Copies of this chain bind each other. A is one copy, B any other.
Amino acid sequence: MENFVFHNPVKVIFGKGQIKAVGREIPKGSRVLFAYGGGSIKKNGVHAQVVEALASAGLEFREFAGIEPNPRFETLMKAVELARAEKLDYVLAVGGGSVVDGCKLVAAAIDFAGDPWDIVCRKAAPTNAMPLGVVLTLPATGSEMNLFSVISRDETGEKLGWGHPSVMPRFSVLDPETTYSLPARQVGNGVVDAFVHVLEQYLTYPAEAPLQDRLAESVLSTLVEIGAKAMATPPDYQARANLMWCATMALNGLIGQGVPQDWATHMIGHELTALTGIDHARTLAAVWPGVVAVKRPEKRAKLLQYAARVWGLSDGDEDARIDAAVAKTRDFFESVGVPAGLGGYNLGADIPEAIARRLSERGGLPLGERGDIDADQVRRILQAA
């Protein structure tokens, strides 16, 4: 186990009926920017619950709608303008990971003197971020309990990740009932997103950290157990609740403390979304098989452990076990409606080269837990996927 610092002060308020806590958690006298996405929260009653919570607490608020999936810098700067004009000093993000990611930048930018894009490029750190609260409606990214944010920019076709402790949510309400109206596609994406978040922190090489390994395997095994139930109609409260808690635990930092981390699938996946618009989770399912195919020798010990502990494959030829574990993972992704491998996405033959070049030009290489994935390996990963 390597040295680490773990500090996650997010207050998680979990369960049905908890949205009313918003009124208690935001300090009296705050002026709230209530930000959300495409308006689905108006159809499923979440908007009304939030308004009721804010109004009963006597909080002043202004609404900002229209933060899109893969939140766009251009849109977020309009929210910043509104907040500045109306002197808003508390950001309440209501939605999925994209709304939360976007609101992290909004919170950081409101009182930031320079160009907020510098924060996204990690050229500058936020100096006086406004406090952020979250009502989560889509279990997937873990953004509700971490400091990360991924922002896209039309002008340059970029999709970049950044993070800062000052934009960790003060509180996050996780009410599984808010997910009942989600389309099946988004639930399946959430299952895959959470699963791959864990794989990025687990499927590397052994690091004498048996507890972290088992915590990661706990999230993976639980996702396998509940994945199909979480897709069911009518929605099953317990399956949705467990999916929601798994997705948060997958990326709140805990399972990755003191161990090597990979993230190659994500870095390549972000480029794929930027180039083609494919949903984030789908890019992960598309790219991951290529990463394990190319990095199989380096990941061998952990692949065998994964096969044994998550899929119960501990007998017989080692390579056959790894093959079977990869096949079971692909089947699992497909079972929640997400195609595994690039084959399912009808992409042009120029994609591997385009992604390798983009990553290379931005200085985003090498990738992986050993820092040994160069442009050539990125090409091979995408060809293998």
Q: A-side interface residues toward B, CB under 8 Å?
A: 1-18, 208-211, 214-215, 217-219, 221-222, 225-226, 238, 241-242, 245-246, 249, 254, 257-258
Report the minimum CB–CB distance from A336 to chain B (whole Å): 17
Q: Can you name the residue of chain B whose Cβ is closest to the Cβ of A9?
A: B9
CB of A224, distance to nearest CB on chain B (Å): 10
Query: Least Cβ distance of A3 to chain B in Å?
Result: 3
Q: List 6 tightest A-B contacts by C-beta distance, closest first.
A: A3-B15, A214-B218, A9-B9, A7-B11, A208-B238, A6-B12
Q: List 12 A-B contacts (CB under 8 A).
A: A1-B242, A1-B245, A3-B17, A6-B14, A8-B9, A209-B242, A210-B225, A210-B242, A211-B249, A214-B219, A214-B222, A245-B258
Whether the Cβ atoms of B12 and A9 lie closer than 8 Å is: no
Given A5-B14, A6-B14: A222 in contact with B241 (beta carbons within 8 A): no
A7 near B4 with CB under 8 A, answer no
CB distance from A194 to the nearest CB of B (A): 11
Given A9-B9, A222-B214, A238-B1, the answer on whether A257 and B208 have CB atoms closer than 8 Å is no
- A301 → chain B closest CB, angstroms: 16
A16/B3 in contact, CB under 8 A: yes
The residues of B that contact A210 with a CB separation of less than 8 Å are: 222, 225-226, 242
Q: How far is the CA of A5 from the CA of B214 in the complex (A)?
A: 24
Determine the distance from Cα of A218 to Cα of B221 in the docked complex, in whole angstroms.
12
Chain B residues with CB below 8 A from A11, complex form: 5-7
Residue of B nearest to A245 (CB): B211
Return chain B residues, CB-CB under 8 Å to A7: 9-12
Docked CA distance A370–B337 (Å): 41
Q: Are B9 and A3 in contact (CB under 8 A)?
A: no
From A5, which residue of chain B is reached at the shortest CB distance?
Answer: B13
* Nearest B residue to A17, CB-CB: B3
Q: Determine the chain B residues whose CB is within 8 A of the CB of A211 once the complex forms.
A: 218-219, 222, 242, 245-246, 249
Cross-chain contact B208 with A214 (CB below 8 angstroms): no
The CA of A210 and the CA of B17, in the complex, are separated in Å by 22
Task: Point out which of A7, A208, A210, A222 has the most chain B C-beta atoms below 10 A from its C-beta.
Answer: A210
CA distance A246 to B257 in the complex (A): 13
Contact A221 B226 (CB under 8 A): no
Compute how far the CA of A14 lies from the CA of B253 in the bound complex, rounded to whole angstroms.
Answer: 14
Contact yes or no, A242 B14, CB < 8 A: no
Q: How far is the CB of A173 from chain B (nearest CB, A)?
A: 10
Among residues of B, the one whose C-beta sits closest to the C-beta of A18 is B3
Contacts of A1 in B (CB 8 A): 15, 238, 241-242, 245
- Beyond A8-B8, A254-B254, list 17 extra A-B contacts (CB 8 Å): A1-B245, A2-B15, A3-B14, A3-B17, A3-B18, A4-B12, A6-B11, A6-B14, A7-B9, A8-B9, A14-B257, A14-B258, A208-B238, A210-B222, A211-B222, A214-B221, A215-B215
**A219 contacts across to B, CB distance below 8 A:** 211, 214
Docked CA distance A11–B282 (Å)? 35
Using CB atoms, name the residue of chain B closest to A246. B211
Instruction: Chain B residues near A217: list those with CB within 8 A.
Output: 214, 218
Chain B proximity of A24: nearest CB distance (Å): 11
